């Protein structure tokens, strides 16, 4: 019996590798036992379960991952990570999805376009956060 492997295009490969790079996790270590979703205190508020999001990442389905609200609802309480029999840091994966989205968003504030009076009133953390996003 022969098995065919999923052929990913460059966009899917880039998405999967970026999530793995940001999270430091091997996404294919997950075998979909569902313990992460079963233990999640916020799963009733999520439109997709945690293990569904992981499956979408494994399949390179970037659009389904980015359209879900699961990664924004996740509070990073680490219950999922503690319960994982494969010792995957699931909370790190959810954080990686959030980080991926934030890195991909176009710049919203151009400091050069702000009047000097506004820049002087801005808290330093706002400027630092903007610079970090532009250089990170």
Q: Mean pLDDT, the chain, as a whole number? A: 87
Residue 128 tokens, joined: 């630092």
Which 8-state DSSP code applies to residue 47? S
Domains (range + CATH), the chain: 10-105 (1.10.1060.10), 107-136 (no CATH)
pLDDT band at 122 (very low <50, low <70, confident <90, very high): confident
pTM: 0.75
Q: Which of 29-38, 111-120, 124-133 has the lowest mean pLDDT?
A: 124-133
- Report pLDDT digits (tens) over 9-64: 899 999 999 999 999 999 999 999 999 999 999 999 999 999 999 999 999 999 99
| Residue 70 and residue 47 in contact, taking contact as beta carbons nearer than 8 Å | yes
What b/e sequence results for 105-120 when a residue is b if at least 16 CB atoms lie within 10 Å of its CB, and e otherwise? eeeeeeeeeeeeeeee
Which among 49, 47, 25, 46 is positioned nearest to 38, based on CA atoms?
49
Residue 54 tokens, joined: 């992981």
């Amino acid at each position: 019996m022969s098995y065919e492997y999923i052929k990913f295009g460059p966009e899917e490969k880039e998405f999967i590798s970026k999530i793995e790079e940001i999270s430091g996790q091997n996404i294919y270590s997950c075998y979909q036992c569902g313990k992460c979703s079963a233990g999640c205190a916020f799963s009733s508020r999520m439109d997709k379960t945690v293990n569904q999001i992981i499956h979408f990442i494994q399949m390179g389905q970037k659009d389904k991952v980015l359209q879900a609200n699961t990664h924004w609802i996740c509070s990073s309480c680490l219950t999922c990570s503690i319960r994982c029999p494969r010792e995957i840091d699931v909370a790190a994966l959810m954080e990686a999805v959030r980080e991926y989205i934030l890195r991909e968003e176009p710049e919203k504030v151009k400091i050069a376009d702000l009047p000097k009076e506004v820049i002087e009133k801005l808290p330093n953390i706002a400027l630092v956060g903007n610079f970090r996003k532009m250089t990170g």
